[in-house]
Amino acid sequence: MKKYLFSSYHKVIYSYLLLFLLAFSFGFTDRYFEIAKNLDTFASIYRQLNSHYVDEVSPADLVREGIDAMLGSLDPYTEYIPESDIEDFKMNYVSKQYAGIGISVFTRKDKIIVSEPYEGFSAQRADIRAGDEILSVNGISVKGRGSSSVSEMLKGQKDAPVKLAIKRYGEKQPLEKTVLREVITFNNVSYTGLLQDSIGYIKLDKFLENSAQEVKQSLLNLKRQHRINALVLDLRGNGGGIVQESVDIVNLFVEKGNKIVTQKAKIKDKDMVYKATLAPVDPLIPLVVLVDRGSASASEIVAGAIQDLDRGTIIGNRTFGKGLVQQTINLPYNSLLKVTVAKYYTPSGRCIQALDYAHRNPDGSVRRVSDSLMAEYKTTNGRSVYDGNGIYPDLVTKEKSYHNIAYSIISKSLHFDFATRYRMTHASIPSARSFNLSDTDFQEFTKYLSDKDYNYTTKSEKNLEELKSIAEKEKYFEDIKLEYNALKNKLVQNKKDDLSRCQDEIKEILESEIVSRYYFQKGRLETSFKTDVDVKEAIKVLTDKNKYVAILKGQGPYKVIGKPKMEALVNAGKSSLNSN
């Protein structure tokens, strides 16, 4: 009896305790109940579809579609990486390394064409050239295959031979090449050199493993070998990478103890403050950082810190505006989840995230952070900078743009094919920096185009046709028909002169492609220095000490950087009211 009472007593106690715990935890478990409920619903739908859907469905594909749709509703950086994609993920986000022969290819009219060999690797050493058509790999025809499929065929075991049959312009018979696979590793720093006597230049393509060490070594080499007294760090087109690498790069130029970036997360354990922890390599060297719309994430950490600490001048165009931090989480079956866990903030406290994924438009599209919501922050020297819109440069340059005829020539690869022919008829050319396409060579190019299709529509033609359509709807066209035809004929005549009118920019495109056939990727970069407006502006600033200092001290027009348009309009309205 006592045993029974004791047991009953404990049952009552346990019941009350359980009820208490359940009641206490309801506030905390509602969300988890919702998760469990929806997982159960999803699993039920999955089972029923698999059992009853009229056609066969792939369980793996069905779930993958669901996962991708779920993550796609968040932001483009949160993604699921299955085991089959792990190696590609590592290539993009950790270390760009694989076993291959060192070429890139593209597809054109069902043909696989070598777009460029990478300097120093086995394909280049075997004299495989840009413009070569690949016919077969290890005896297997590539006809009908896509470029990604052929790229996979070229990769494989290190030191294994790859037999290629290629067709080359100017050669009657196919060429046979046997190339050994080797480990292809791409440096984060793709170029180190001089812009002029005392100005160093470092081109950083990505922030993967060892990028900070590569920048450091490049800087030290420039200082030792060339005694530079100024530096340009080019981050254009650099989409980012590892946060710590960007912090370590800033640390090369700023004193120990400076705050470089702050990471704020929903889970407070993931909040972090990154500071310079080492003595800098050179805290005084005049510095310019080049950025553009392709500069994102880690690039913006560097540019934002350099700007906020007034350590250097930012030149170019407004950056992408990615202020989100991702972390990879291990999942079952050797898969990964790359998930956005935090936002990062520059030393002044601004978040440079430009797109508001949390508050989408009714149609699901993503909106930019409104000008009216952009807050003002101060740099070390008191300059005004703003959040929510990427990193706005201290000096904004004109973005590169080409005429329609140039875009047409590029889109149809006519410049590429002409460079292929040029390489076969010219054994060598001057250095990349000094090469200029002669007028005779340009005339050869115009002759080459004479039987090629590079038709294009100008904006003037589009607008004229739009005017015609509107006039016809409004019953005015018959009254303006003569003027319309006269204007159309005039545009046709002007269009015939586009080739000569746009000679300079077409020459620039041709020179870049031709130089790459002799001096590869580095040559393409060096020849661009002649016309690169950002590089020219950087040289101008670094050779004008007064202007450089004025920018960093916020004197005159450099006091306010990237003021939002909305605020400017509001202030203009206030001024108008005050004047009345």
468 in catalytic set: no
**Residue 334 to residue 90: CA distance in whole angstroms:** 13
pLDDT computed for residue 371 by the predictor: 78
Give the contacts of 381 (CB within 8 A, at least 6 positions apart).
310, 552, 553, 554
322 in catalytic set: yes
Pairing mode, strands 376-378 and 367-368:
unpaired
Domain for residue 426, yes or no?
Answer: yes
Question: Of how many residues is the chain composed?
Answer: 580
Are 207 and 355 part of one and the same domain? Answer: yes
Domain for residue 243, yes or no?
Answer: yes
Catalytic residue among 203, 206, 322, 507: 322
Are 248 and 337 part of one and the same domain? Answer: yes
pLDDT computed for residue 538 by the predictor: 99
Are 162 and 305 part of one and the same domain? Answer: no
pLDDT computed for residue 12 by the predictor: 46
Which DSSP category does 66 fall into? H
Domain for residue 63, yes or no?
Answer: no
- The Cα-based distances of 392 to 287, 313, 389, 494 in angstroms read 17, 11, 7, 38
**Residue 359 to residue 368: CA distance in whole angstroms:** 10
- Tokens 């000679």 correspond to 503
574 in catalytic set: no
Domain for residue 444, yes or no?
Answer: yes
pLDDT in tens, the chain (580 residues): 444 434 444 554 555 455 555 555 555 567 778 888 888 898 898 889 889 999 988 888 888 898 999 998 999 999 999 998 888 888 777 766 789 999 999 999 899 999 999 999 999 999 999 999 999 999 999 999 999 999 999 999 999 999 999 999 999 999 999 999 999 999 999 999 999 989 999 999 999 999 999 999 999 999 999 999 999 999 999 999 999 999 999 999 999 999 999 999 988 888 999 999 999 999 999 999 999 999 999 999 999 999 999 999 999 999 999 999 999 999 999 999 999 999 999 999 999 898 888 878 877 788 787 777 789 999 999 999 999 889 999 999 999 889 999 999 999 999 999 999 999 999 999 999 999 999 999 999 999 999 998 888 888 889 999 999 999 999 988 999 999 999 988 888 888 888 999 999 999 999 999 999 999 999 999 999 999 999 999 999 999 999 999 999 999 999 999 988 644 443 444 444 344 4
pLDDT computed for residue 11 by the predictor: 53
DSSP string, 227-281: --SEEEEE-TT---B-HHHHHHHHHTTS-TT-EEEEEEESSGGG-EEEE--S--S
pLDDT computed for residue 18 by the predictor: 52
pLDDT computed for residue 454 by the predictor: 87
Are 151 and 137 part of one and the same domain? Answer: yes
pLDDT computed for residue 241 by the predictor: 93
Q: 195 phi and psi, to 5 degrees?
A: -85, -40
Are 310 and 441 part of one and the same domain? Answer: no
CA gyration radius, the chain = 30
Catalytic residue among 297, 299, 512, 516: 297
pLDDT computed for residue 322 by the predictor: 95
Q: Are 76 and 354 in contact (CB under 8 A)?
A: no
Q: Locate the DSSP E strands across 285-410.
A: 287-291, 313-316, 324-331, 335-345, 355-356, 367-368, 376-378, 384-386, 395-396
**Residue 442 to residue 507: CA distance in whole angstroms:** 7
Are 239 and 349 part of one and the same domain? Answer: yes
pLDDT computed for residue 574 by the predictor: 41
Question: What is the sign, positive or negative, of the torsion defined by CA atoms of 405, 410, 414, 416?
Answer: positive
Residue 404: how many CB atoms within 10 A of its CB? 16
**Which residues span the domain enclosing 496?**
404-537
**Which CATH number do you get for residue 151?**
2.30.42.10
- The Cα-based distances of 130 to 143, 169, 315, 416, 437 in angstroms read 19, 10, 33, 9, 19
What the block records as the tokens of 224 is 């030792």
Catalytic residue among 308, 387, 394, 534: 308
Are 321 and 456 part of one and the same domain? Answer: no
Q: Locate the DSSP E strands across 118-219.
A: 133-137, 140-141, 161-167, 175-180, 182-185, 189-196, 199-204
**Which CATH number do you get for residue 388?**
3.90.226.10
**Residue 211 to residue 189: CA distance in whole angstroms:** 7
Among 571, 564, 561, smallest CA distance to 385 is for: 561
Pairing mode, strands 287-291 and 230-234:
parallel
Measured distance between the N- and C-terminal CA atoms of the chain, rounded to whole angstroms? 97
**Residue 334 to residue 201: CA distance in whole angstroms:** 41
Structural domain total, the chain: 3
Are 410 and 392 part of one and the same domain? Answer: no
pLDDT computed for residue 361 by the predictor: 81
Among 297, 369, 308, smallest CA distance to 340 is for: 297
